[in-house]
Structure 1
Amino acid sequence: MFHVGDSIVYPMQGAGVIEAIVEKEILGENHRYYLIKMPIRDMQVMIPIVKVKKSRIRLVANIPTLEHVLNIFQYGQTDTTLSMKERYKINAEKLRTGNIQDGAEVVRDLMRLNKKKALNSSEKQMLESARKIFISELGIIRGITDNQAKDLLNKMVG
């Protein structure tokens, strides 16, 4: 159970803050929802409380976890032996987990590959989406703007 004011990550959407818990009547039944402000797309999302576990929403990572992830981001290895099809499948699954380390690995690997040769359109789209999600969490944890988080990532990839 989350509380108003909690910073959370909604997998495939990004980081946000729970602004309220609201009750809505739908088809004659009352349901409770988290109202989440998602700065990444400047939108609000309503998630039924009963579906939170299934949606894999989690609290944003703490500073020690972030530092560990950033270390892996900067110094971890990228597997360049995978075919594009294998890489896409693995990366898509990593993003679905909502795990910060998995998402960071996708961003790192695709940014590195993009420096060597242009990514195809589906991987470009995946990179852009994964970057936005990772940057949104990085910004909330560090208390920095999205632009500052982007700059930090770009410096780390070199």
Structure 2
Amino acid sequence: MASTANAFTVGDYVVYPKHGVGRVIELQSEEIAGMQLELYVLRFEKERMTLRVPVGKVEAIGMRKLSSDKTLKQAMETLKGKPKVKRTMWSRRAQEYEAKINSGDLVSIAEVTRDLFRPEDQPEQSYSERQIFEAASSRLARELAAMEETDEPAALNKILDVLREHAPQYYDNAEEA
């Protein structure tokens, strides 16, 4: 457990599963309910949100450092893959997609992004499909931007370029899951 205590330092980018990429802006020691707690103070610029996370809860929450280059490469390869079209009820699929996004796992987020991407010449998406696609692609873009030291719009364009390049060859006969 001691290794987790010093896992992050001020200035580090971290991934908090439910909120995406944030930055450690401060380490605090505070007394709460009679207990002395060490806290990471995280700032999520996109949401204009500050979050305080007890050091001892980091593992349970699933907070992690940015993905490795290998994981990023896997995620980008996932975007090039064949979209999986599921024939289950939309509400169940939406829950599965949300769970993947909130898992914080970059490859799972890339799967959702790939599966919900629609090229300009393809049929319209429902509002909720579009919302989930945008949440997944934004989460993926923020981590990519932090890793490549660029901005989110540039990272999102890179993701969309990969999807546009590879989606047409798969879209007509998408794999059923």
Please say whether Structure 1 and Structure 2 have the same fold, judged by a TM-score greater than 0.5: yes
SS in structure 2 at match of 1:101? helix
Q: Return the alpha-carbon distance in structure 1 between the equivalents of residues 163 and 128 of structure 2.
A: 21
Contact kept? 2:13, 2:146, Cα under 8 Å: yes
Query: What 5-or-longer segments of structure 2 have no aligned partner?
Result: 165-177
Aligned with residue 117 of structure 1, among 123, 141, 154 = 123
SS in structure 1 at match of 2:150? coil
- Report deviation, 1:53: 1.5
For 1:34-73, what aligned pairs fall within 5 Å after superposition? 34-73=40-79
Task: Say which one has the larger Rg.
Answer: 2
Runs (4+) of structure 1 exceeding 4 A deviation are none
RMSD over equivalenced CA pairs, Å: 2.1
Q: Is residue 139 from structure 1 mapped to residue 145 from structure 2 by the alignment?
A: yes
Higher normalized helix content (fraction of residues): 1
**Percentage of identical aligned residues:** 24
Q: Return the alpha-carbon distance in structure 2 between the equivalents of residues 54 and 133 of structure 1.
A: 21
Q: Return the alpha-carbon distance in structure 2 between the equivalents of residues 115 and 61 of structure 1.
A: 33
Partner in structure 1 of residue 36 of structure 2: 30
Q: Is residue 106 from structure 1 mapped to residue 112 from structure 2 by the alignment?
A: yes
Q: Name the stretch that deviates more: 131-140 or 39-48.
A: 39-48
- Report deviation, 1:92: 2.1
Change over 3 Å in CA distance of 1:105–1:114 after alignment to 2: farther
Partner in structure 2 of residue 77 of structure 1: 82
Under a length normalisation based on structure 1, what TM-score does the superposition of the two structures give? Answer: 0.86
- Report deviation, 1:20: 2.0
Change over 3 Å in CA distance of 1:114–1:8 after alignment to 2: farther
- Report deviation, 1:82: 2.2
For 1:144-155, what aligned pairs fall within 5 Å after superposition? 144-155=150-161
Q: Return the alpha-carbon distance in structure 1 between the equivalents of residues 15 and 105 of structure 2.
A: 9
Q: Return the alpha-carbon distance in structure 1 between the equivalents of residues 113 and 38 of structure 2.
A: 34
CA deviation map 1:36-86 (0-9, x unaligned): 12233233221112221221111111223212210221x211122423234
Aligned pair count?
157
SS in structure 1 at match of 2:87? coil
Q: Return the alpha-carbon distance in structure 2 between the equivalents of residues 115 and 27 of structure 1.
A: 58
Under a length normalisation based on structure 2, what TM-score does the superposition of the two structures give? Answer: 0.78
SS in structure 2 at match of 1:61? coil
